[in-house]
Structure 1
Amino acid sequence: MASPLHQLKIIELGHVIAGPLSASLLSDFGADVIKVEVPGRADMMRELGPKADDGVGVWWKTLGRNKRTLSLNWKSDEGRDILRRMVESADVLIENFRPGVLERAGIGPETLHEWNPDLVILRVSGYGQDGPMRDVPAFGRAAEAMSGLAYLTGFSDGPPMHPGFPAADSTTGLMGALGIMVALFARERGIARGQVVDLAVFETLLRLMDYPVPALTGAKLSPRRNGLRQPMDFAPGGMFRTSDGVWLTVSAGSAETAQRLLRAVGGDALADDPRFATLALMSQHMATIFDAINDFVTQHTFAEVELQFGRHDAVASRVLSVEEIAENEQIRHRGDIVSVEGEQTQVVGPIPHLSATPGELRWLGRPAGADTRDILSGLGISEERIVALCEAGHIGLGGGEDKR
Structure 2
Amino acid sequence: MNTATPAPGPLAGLRVIEMGSLLAGPFAGQLLGDFGAEVIKVEPPGQGDPMRVWGQHRPQGHSLWFPIIARNKKSVTLNLRLPEGQQLARELLSTADVLVENFRPGTLEGWGLGPDTLQQLNPGLVMLRVSGYGQTGPYRDRAGFGSIGEAVGGLRALTGEPGRPPVRVGVTIGDMLAGTLGALGTMMALYSRTTSGRGQVVDVALYEAVLTYMESLIPEFALAGQIRERSGSTLPGIAPSNIYPALGPDGQPGEWVVIGANADTVFRRLCAEMGRPELSDHPDYRGHEARGLHMNELDELIAAWTATLPADELVTRLGQAGVPASRVYSAREMLQDPHFAARGNIVRLHHEQLGSFPMQGVVPRLSETPGAVRSLGPQLGQHNQDVYGGLLGHTAGQLAAFQEQGVI
TM-score (norm 1): 0.93
Q: Which amino acid aligns with 1:227?
A: G
| Secondary structure, aligned partner of 1:358 | coil
- Residue-by-residue CA offset, 1:196-220 (whole Å, 9 max, x unaligned): 1111111111112322123333444
1:307 Cα shift? 4.2
Partner amino acid for 1:48? Answer: W
Q: Identity over aligned residues, as a percent?
A: 38
Give 1:55-94 correspondences, 5 Å limit.
55-94=61-100
Indicate the larger mover: 81-90 or 252-261. Answer: 252-261
Which of 21, 29, 40 aligns to 2:27? It is 21
Partner of 1:399: none
Match of 1:239 in 2: 243
CA drift at 1:52: 5.2
- TM-superposed CA distance for 1:54, in Å, is 5.3
User: Are residues 1:358 and 2:370 paired?
Assistant: yes
Do the aligned residues in 1 keep the contact of 2:86 with 2:111 (CA within 8 Å)? no
CA displacement 1:351-399 (0-9 Å, x = unmatched): 111111111111101111110011011211111111111111111xxxx
1:278 aligns with 2:287: yes
Distance change (3 Å), C-alpha of 1:46 and 1:303: closer
Task: Report the Cα distance in structure 2 between the residues aligned to 1:209 and 1:258, rounded to whole angstroms.
Answer: 26
**2:312, 2:84 → 1: CA distance?**
66
Q: Secondary structure at the match of 1:344?
A: strand
Letter in 2 for 1:290: D
The Cα offsets for residues 160-212 of structure 1, whole Å up to 9 and x where unpaired, read as 1101100101111111110100111111132x721111111111111123221
Of 249, 261, 282, which aligns to 2:258? 249
Counterpart secondary structure, 1:276: coil
Q: Give RMSD over aligned pairs.
A: 1.7
2:319 counterpart SS class: helix
2:48 and 2:380 in contact (8 A); partners too? yes
- 1:305 lines up with 2:297 in the alignment: no
Could you tell me which amino acid in structure 2 is paired with residue 370 of structure 1?
A: Q
Read off the aligned partner of 1:291 and give its amino acid letter: E
SS of 1:194's equivalent in the other structure is: coil
Pairing partner for 2:300 from 264, 288, 291: 291
- CA offsets 1:122-179 (integer angstroms, 9 cap, x no match): 1111111121211222211111111221111111121111011001011111111101
Which is worse superposed, 288-297 or 338-347? 338-347
Question: What is the alpha-carbon distance in structure 2 between the residues aligned to residue 187 and residue 216 of structure 1?
Answer: 39
Which of the residues 100, 105, 112 maps onto 1:99? Answer: 105
Task: Indicate if the aligned counterparts of 1:264 and 1:314 stay in contact, CA closer than 8 A.
Answer: no
The structure-2 alpha-carbon separation of the partners of 1:345 and 1:393, relative to structure 1 and needing over 3 Å to count, comes to same
Q: How does 1:27-176 map to 2 (within 5 A)?
A: 27-50=33-56, 53=59, 55-176=61-182
Quickly say closer, same or farther: Cα 1:332–1:183, change in 2 above 3 A.
same
Residue 208 in structure 1 maps to residue 213 in structure 2: yes
- Conserved in 2, the CA contact under 8 Å of 1:266 and 1:292? no
Q: How many residues align?
A: 393
Q: Letter of the 2:234 partner, please give it.
A: R
Compute the displacement of 1:2 (Å): 3.8
Match of 1:334 in 2: 343
Q: In the aligned structure 2, how far is the partner of 1:309 from the partner of 1:79?
A: 61
Cα distance between partner residues in 1 of 2:164 and 2:259: 23
Q: Verify: 1:185 aligned to 2:194, yes or no.
A: no
In structure 2, the residue matched to 1:402 is: none
The separation in 2 between residues aligned to 1:360 and 1:197, in whole angstroms, is 25
Distance 1:384 1:307, change over 3 A: closer
1:36 counterpart letter in structure 2 = V
Match of 1:385 in 2: 398
5+ residue gaps, structure 1, are 396-404
CA contact (8 A) 1:336 1:348 kept: yes
| Counterpart contact for 2:244–2:303, Cα < 8 Å | yes
Deviations 1:13-71 (A, max 9, x none): 00000000000011011100000011124100000114555532111111111111010
Kindly provide the CA deviation profile for residues 224-273 of structure 1, in whole angstroms up to 9, marking residues without a partner as x.
1112221x223321111113321111113422223323333352121121
Asked if 1 retains the 8 angstrom alpha-carbon contact of 2:126 and 2:201, the reply is: yes
Given that 2:262 and 2:288 are in contact with CA atoms closer than 8 Å, whether structure 1 keeps it comes out as: no
In the alignment, residue 29 of structure 1 is paired with which amino acid? F
Counterpart Cα distance in 2 of 1:333 and 1:144: 34
The answer on whether the counterparts of 1:353 and 1:359 sit within 8 Å (CA) in structure 2 is yes
User: 2:4 matched to which residue of 1?
Assistant: none
Q: Secondary structure at the match of 2:380?
A: coil
**Match for residue 329 of structure 2?**
320
Q: Which residue is 1:6 aligned to?
A: 12
Say which SS state the counterpart of residue 275 (structure 1) adopts.
coil
- Decide whether aligned partners of structure 1 residues 70 and 310 sit closer, same or farther in structure 2, where only a CA change above 3 A counts: closer
CA contact (8 A) 1:251 1:316 kept: yes
With over 3 angstroms needed to count, the CA separation of the structure-2 counterparts of 1:112 and 1:55, relative to structure 1, is: same
The alpha-carbon distance between structure 1 residues 105 and 252, as it changes in their structure 2 partners (threshold 3 A), is same
Q: Which moved more, 1:291-300 or 1:4-13?
A: 291-300
Helix, strand or coil: the match of 1:250? Answer: strand
Of 363-372 and 98-107, deviating more is 98-107
| 1:289-335: CA deviation from partner (whole Å, max 9, x where unpaired) | 11111111122222442244235311221001111111111111110
For 2:92 and 2:125, the matched residues in 1 are separated by: 11
